[in-house]
Amino acid sequence: MKTNDVILQSVTKVVVFIILTLAIYLFFSGHDAPGGGFVAGLALASSFVLMLLAFDMETVQKGIPVNFRILGAVGAMFVLIDGVGAVVFGKPFLTQAFKEIEIPFFGPIEISTVTLFETGVSLAVVGVVVTIILSISEDV
């Protein structure tokens, strides 16, 4: 018997955007408060898992054609490039660098290599968590 998941699918469409907004907030608040790439990656992965629960795998893959194993590898590559980049300039591994730039209407904004590192961590967490969930769901 086919189940009717209209309510779950309708609520999922709204909740996913709320979770994605939370993930963006957690990502950018990580430098000044608790949060950052790992927590944002977990929040982002939870939105993918919610979509996989509400819809079938083919629908999610058609809407978001991402290979999560490659996404995790790209995230690990970002972290490695960020760490080796400091070594190229004669600094210790994973030493951060930052620069303050002036943006019209916003004022001075500090750009840091930590953002690249946190992006890599976030992508790696999403890739690994969603790959694990997909692997477990294939066995059931």
In terms of phi and psi (left: phi > 0; alpha: psi -120 to 50; beta: otherwise), the region of 94 is left
- pLDDT band for position 91 (50/70/90)? confident
Per-residue pLDDT tens digits for 5-51:
888 899 999 999 999 999 998 888 876 666 688 999 999 999 999 99
Question: Structural domain tally of the chain?
Answer: 1
Domain-located, residue 68: yes
What is the pairing mode between strands 107-112 and 98-103? antiparallel
39, 109, 100, 103 alpha-carbon torsion, rounded to 10°: 140
Distances (CA, A) of 66 to 8, 9, 52, 69, 125: 23, 21, 13, 9, 14
* Average pLDDT value for residue range 80-93: 84
Residue 1 in domain: no
How many Å apart are CA 4 and CA 11, to the nearest integer? 14
Q: CA 117 to CA 115: how far, in whole Å?
A: 5
Domain with 69 in it:
6-139
Q: Is residue 80 part of a domain?
A: yes
Mean pLDDT of the chain, nearest integer: 86
Mean pLDDT of 91-101: 82
Give the residue with greater pLDDT, 97 vs 9. 9
Q: Would the pLDDT of 2 be above 80?
A: no
Any domain includes 119:
yes
Instruction: Give the confidence band of 122 by pLDDT, cuts at 50, 70, 90.
Output: very high
**Around 123, how many Cα atoms within 13 Å sit in the side-chain half-sphere?**
20
Within a domain: 13: yes
